[in-house]
């Protein structure tokens, strides 16, 4: 197919996807997070839930279990996670009865070539995140039409205007954010009402949990994400980037 025809076809696909996302946002604008989750699983094609099994992850995992225990759940193990996270992942999956959890890791050949001594993070945290999180996840998502995230507007300025449904630039996938409008107290209330287990590190001062080398406890009064990449000009791990560039949340197309 000639290049101009390929570009026309890509533009048409993008336009159709945008229309679908706009229709979904209009339909679910005043619905609950659970409705958004259920609607995504029923109407947005083949969808996977991507979960870090971190401090607040159990909320979406519980919603997925209520909707369909066979919902594909992708857990990216960077091989630099806290031991507590690995134990928590296994316990939560069993407790909720999740039947389709996949543990995603970087190819060992890539690790041996790019980070044989596990020191890449010391010189370039972005490259480390790309190697251990972004690339493995993009490979795992290749067969899906979209994915569900736990992002919330309050977490950072780059997320302040995102909708429930977004078009992910450069991939042709839908990104679903059921908890976009939730506040911290909504998360706590849901966990308490449903008696969901908390990540053990939360009680030790970790309200946001990533890889062990790049996560530190948060002091009283600090932003909950202050312990992620402390003292670095970095807010995102990279899984919400395309081709190394931050996806513009809520951009109108």
Catalytic residues: 237
Task: Name 71's Cβ contacts closer than 8 Å, sequence gap at least 6.
Answer: 41, 47, 48, 49, 64, 65, 98, 100
3-state secondary structure of 215: strand
Using a 10 angstrom Cβ sphere, with 0-12 exposed, 13-18 middle and 19 or more buried, the burial of residue 98 is buried
Cα–Cα distance measured from residue 175 to residue 185, given in angstroms and rounded to the nearest whole number: 24
Whether 84 contacts 247, CB under 8 Å: no
> Nearest to residue 186, comparing CAs of 213, 154, 223?
154
Whether 158 contacts 235, CB under 8 Å: yes
């Amino acid at each position: 197919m000639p290049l101009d025809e390929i570009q026309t076809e890509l533009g048409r696909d993008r336009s159709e996807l945008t229309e679908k996302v706009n229709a979904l946002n209009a339909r679910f604008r005043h619905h609950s997070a659970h409705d958004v989750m259920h609607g995504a699983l029923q109407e947005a094609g083949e969808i996977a839930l991507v979960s870090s099994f971190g401090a607040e992850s159990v909320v979406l995992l519980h919603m997925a279990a209520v909707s369909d225990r066979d919902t594909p759940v992708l857990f990216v193990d960077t091989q630099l996670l806290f031991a507590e996270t690995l134990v928590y992942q296994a316990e939560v999956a069993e407790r909720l009865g999740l039947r389709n959890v996949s543990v995603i890791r970087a190819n060992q050949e890539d690790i041996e070539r790019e980070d044989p001594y596990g020191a890449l993070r010391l010189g370039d945290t972005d490259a480390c995140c790309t190697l251990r999180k972004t690339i493995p996840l993009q490979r795992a998502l290749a067969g899906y039409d979209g994915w569900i995230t736990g992002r919330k507007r309050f977490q950072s300025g780059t997320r302040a205007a995102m909708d429930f449904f977004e078009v992910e630039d450069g991939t042709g996938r839908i990104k679903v954010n059921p908890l976009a409008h939730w506040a911290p107290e909504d998360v706590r209330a849901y966990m308490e009402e449903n008696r969901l287990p908390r990540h053990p590190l939360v009680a030790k001062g970790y309200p946001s949990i990533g890889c062990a080398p790049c996560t530190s406890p948060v002091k009283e009064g600090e932003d909950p994400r202050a312990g992620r990449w402390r003292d670095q000009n970095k807010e995102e791990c990279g899984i919400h980037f395309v081709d190394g560039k931050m996806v513009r949340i809520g951009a109108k197309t």
